[in-house]
Amino acid sequence: MSKVRSLNTLTIPLLAVCITLFLLYTSMDESIRAEENLEEDVTYLKNIVDDMDGEIELGELTGHAIESKYLSFDEMEQVLQSVMNELAVSNLFSEEYTIDKSKNHNIKTARVVLNNDECELHVSIQSIANKDILLDAQTHIVINITDKTDELEIINDYHKRIRSVFSILGAEGEITTCLSGFLSDKLTKDEKRNLLGEKIDKRDIVNERSFENSNVVKKSGYSSKIENLIMVDDKKQNISLVLSDDKIKGKTAFRVATPLVNSDY
């Protein structure tokens, strides 16, 4: 009987260790897969730009998370400091940051803006309550990073930083990755429409949605080659292509994004 007790005494801690190691391995494996998917998604976007003979001037990432709570200014400041620490902004900007606070009726906002010659960072936290009834309260956390780069490693690094922020906050967030720049020429409206239609068809993008005005032609849809995904009107969407006129440069500007360009939100 003592041998059975001794065996059980050893088995239980050993089983706990095995479970812990399995969960740790699973978490690491999911993290590695997420990074690989991200790199594949950004590479997919860049291939579309290359196929249009476009020149990338900016890489832009926007992270947006929503929490069902109403924060005080002190709580918002604490969250902002956590965000800035996790983003490791001291590695990107030499200047110290300050937090701007404002209140308009039942909307509180705390914001940080930093920029240099290459990079610009906007972090905003906004708490919204409905006539002081906190049951429907929401806090929006928005992180926007814009960099004058076409290097995928830098864009992927920003994405990881934003994802890490959402992880420490315990918030579910959506991240939009956008590559923007210019084509070599200025296209007519028909040429824009034909070019985007060609890229959509070439890559078997489905659930196509279109928008046009005098200056802009935009197409969005779903590609099985991209891991990122949102639902719009019960249809899968994860890629957006936009061509517009830039009057200053006299060229056609492009935006290629996943899941959708910011104007779709």
Does the pTM surpass 0.75? The reply is yes
**What distances in angstroms separate CA 87 from CA 93, 123, 218, one per listed residue?**
11, 10, 32
Rounded mean pLDDT of 59-77? 92
- String of DSSP letters for 68-115: S----HHHHHHHHHHHHHHHTGGGT-SSPP--EEEEETTEEEEEEEEE
Position 68 scores a pLDDT of: 87
More confident: 88 or 14 = 88
Positive/negative CA dihedral, 223, 227, 230, 236 = positive
The SS3 of residue 212 is strand
In tens, the pLDDT along 175-211 reads 999 999 999 999 999 999 999 999 999 998 999 999 9
How does residue 8 score in pLDDT terms, banded at 50, 70 and 90? Answer: low
Q: Cβ(142)–Cβ(148) under 8 Å?
A: no
SS (H, E, C) 134-162: EEEEEEEEEEEEEECCCCHHHHHHHHHHH
Instruction: Specify the DSSP element, H or E, that contains 216.
Output: strand 216-222
User: Which residues share a beta bridge with 119?
Assistant: 147
Q: Helix axis angle, 2-51 relative to 189-202, nearest 10°?
A: 140
Position 91 scores a pLDDT of: 84
Position 69 scores a pLDDT of: 87
In tens, the pLDDT along 196-255 reads 999 999 998 999 999 999 899 999 999 999 988 888 888 999 999 999 999 898 999 999
Write down all domains in the chain, each with its CATH number in brackets: 1-54+183-265 (no CATH), 55-178 (3.30.2030.10)
Residue 73 has pLDDT above 70, yes or no: yes
Position 28 scores a pLDDT of: 39
In tens, the pLDDT along 126-178 reads 999 876 555 678 899 999 999 999 999 999 999 999 999 999 988 888 999 99
